[in-house]
Amino acid sequence: MTLIVKVIARVVSPLIMVFGIYMILHGHLSPGGGFPGGVIIASAFVLLTLSSGKEVAYQKLKESTAAVMESVGALIFLILAVLGTIFGGWFFLNFLPKGEPLRLLSGGFIPLCNIGVGLKVGGGIFAVFLTLILFRLSEKGEGD
Amino acid sequence: MLFFLCFALFLIGLYCVLIKKNLLKIVMGIIIMEYSVNLFLIMVGYKAGAVAPIVTAGVEKANFVDPLPQALVITAIVIGIATLALMVALCMRVYDRYKTFDITKIRRLRG
Amino acid sequence: MPEIELYLLITLMIVGALVAVHTRYLISAVISLAVVGMALAVAFLYMQAPDIAITQIVVEVLALVILIIAVSIGKEVMDIKGKWEILAIGVTAPFVVIFALFAYRATSQLPPFGSPLMTVSQHYVQEGLKQTGSANLVTSILLDFRAYDTLGEATILFTAILGAFAVLRKIGRKGK
């Protein structure tokens, strides 16, 4: 890729990640939530990989780290569900206090669940994308 | 009539899966079928003259569209991309072994 | 006609899908799929579903990237012509037409477009803000009323990605 594309991608990619984190955290107030937010975080890393090559993206997020991120997200989700059983009656009980509506800290444990889901989706999709790129490059026998 | 047009899109995807011989065209047919099913689910839940299901300040009980199909379709779209990644991984392995995407030449199961 | 925009969008999607099926260059088929996906996102916005429009656009872009990776690994860029093409079309087309006739009869039994039944969602719409405290009703259904389905979706994502890892492994394969 040319120099202009590389520089612009390196400048824009953190902004995309901030937008993804915003969408995850404000999932209960505006449209969005964990699923689109996670995919946006994955696409920030995909932009880095496509423009600057896999070496630069590999330094920022290895594929093993992305797999760990995915598993941590799933574990957060499951632990919140089991804590609902311990603190109340049933699985997935909303045990944190619900604040006043339309505030950032409202809705019980819904923001925490959104963080778990966002980590899982983002990490998983970037990990599988990096695996596809590595397989294709290693079978062609050339670097990028 | 709108529901029938949505189903016509599904039939185009099904036709592509049945007729074509290139493995990647079959994958594209499956993606067209997924698009049409998501569109159909949202069309079933649409209420004429209603607003998006998000409560805004000051307005408590407005006329909302059906939020239940929307929750199902969000998960369906993200699952669609995971299955697309798995399908493309399988296609890459097939190309690695047989050096072609033609399904009439991919016949023998060599151990 | 009240929903003229929706008719135009679905017609655009059908035309785009037909182009994607019949064109012989694989890259053109991928670009036609992009047109179908973007028209789908606009249709979602028209039907008052902003959550889903955001998800569809972002997922569509990633699906395009993955498909272009898949198309670029092979040496052939054009579609493959089979030997028994006319016979295949002659057998499949009547099946598709009969399917479409039955579908026309079935879809005329659905509730008319624009007035859903909403027997289950009435409870979610009325009790949503009070019982969960979140202003986005779709998120409250996904993560509070029906959180078990989200757990199932997380399991599907995990299994599909694990399958993709297992297929593309390099070490641990004997011989090759």
Question: What does the pLDDT look like over C66-102, one tens digit per residue?
Answer: 999 998 887 766 666 667 778 888 888 899 899 999 9
Question: Across chain A, which distance is largest between two alpha carbons, in Å?
Answer: 59
The average pLDDT across C42-64 equals: 94
CA dist., res. C166 & res. A127, Å (int): 13
Give CA angle at B42 (A114, C136), nearest 5°.
35
Distance from CA of A27 to the nearest CA of C (A): 7
Asked if C99 reaches chain B (Cβ–Cβ under 8 Å), the answer is: yes
Map out the domains of chain B as residue ranges. Answer: 2-98
Residues B28 and C20 sit within 8 Å (Cβ to Cβ): yes
What pLDDT is stored for residue C29 in this prediction?
93
**Between helices C26-46 and B23-44, what is the axis angle to 10°?**
10
Question: What does the pLDDT look like over A78-129, one tens digit per residue?
Answer: 998 888 888 777 777 777 777 777 777 777 888 899 999 999 999 999 999 9
Distance from CA of B59 to the nearest CA of A (A): 12
DSSP labels, C102-164: HHHHHHTTSPPTB----TTHHHHHHHHHHHH--SBHHHHIIIIITHHHHHHHHHHHHHHHHHH
Distance from CA of C19 to the nearest CA of A (A): 27
- Give the residue ranges of chain B where pLDDT is below 70: 59-60, 109-111
Q: How far is CA C88 from CA B15, B79, C58, C94, C95, in A?
A: 11, 32, 37, 11, 11
A-B Cβ pairs (cutoff 8 Å, strict): 32
Place of tokens 């899982």: A120
pLDDT band at A141, cuts 50/70/90? low
Q: Is the pLDDT of residue C176 over 50?
A: no
Over chain C, what is the mean pLDDT? 87
Distance from CA of A30 to the nearest CA of C (A): 6
Map out the domains of chain C as residue ranges. Answer: 118-176
Contacts of A120 in chain C (CB under 8 A): 154, 157-158
Q: Is the pLDDT of residue C134 over 90?
A: no
Residue-range definition of the domain harbouring residue A79: 3-140
Contacts of A33 in chain C (CB under 8 A): 51, 136, 138-139, 142-143
What pLDDT is stored for residue C77 in this prediction?
65
Q: Which of B81, B90, B91 to mutate to test the interface with A (most CBs of A within 10 A)?
A: B81
- Among A54, A21, A62, smallest CA distance to A38 is for A21
The tokens describing C166, both together, are 């297992």
Contacts of B77 in chain A (CB under 8 A): 35
CA dist., res. C136 & res. C153, Å (int): 20
Check the CA dihedral A95-A96-A98-A102 and report its sign.
Answer: negative
Residues C59 and B78 sit within 8 Å (Cβ to Cβ): yes
Give CA angle at C21 (C16, C24), nearest 5°.
110
Contact call for A31 and B54, based on CB within 8 A? yes
A12 vs C112, more confident: A12
Partner residue opposite B88 with nearest CB, options C37, C66, C157: C66
Q: Write the burial class of residue B79 (CB in 10 Å: 0-12 exposed, 13-18 middle, 19+ buried).
A: middle
Range with the poorest average pLDDT among A22-26, A105-109, A135-139: A135-139
- Counting as contact any 3 or more CB pairs under 8 A, the partners of B are A, C
Cβ neighbours, 10 Å, residue B44: 17
Q: What residues of chain A, 9 to 48, have a C-beta less than 8 Å from chain B?
A: 30-31, 33, 35-36, 39
Asked if C45 reaches chain A (Cβ–Cβ under 8 Å), the answer is: no
The average pLDDT across A46-74 equals: 85
What pLDDT is stored for residue B110 in this prediction?
62
Contact call for C62 and A131, based on CB within 8 A? no
**What is the total count of domains within chain A?**
1
CATH architecture for residues B2-98:
Orthogonal Bundle (1.10)
Tell me the whole-structure pTM to 2 decimals: 0.91
What pLDDT is stored for residue A144 in this prediction?
38
End-to-end CA distance of chain B: 51
Distance from CA of C172 to the nearest CA of B (A): 15
Residues B34 and B80 sit within 8 Å (Cβ to Cβ): yes
- Among A28, A26, A30, smallest CA distance to A18 is for A26
The average pLDDT across A64-75 equals: 90
CA dist., res. B48 & res. C115, Å (int): 7
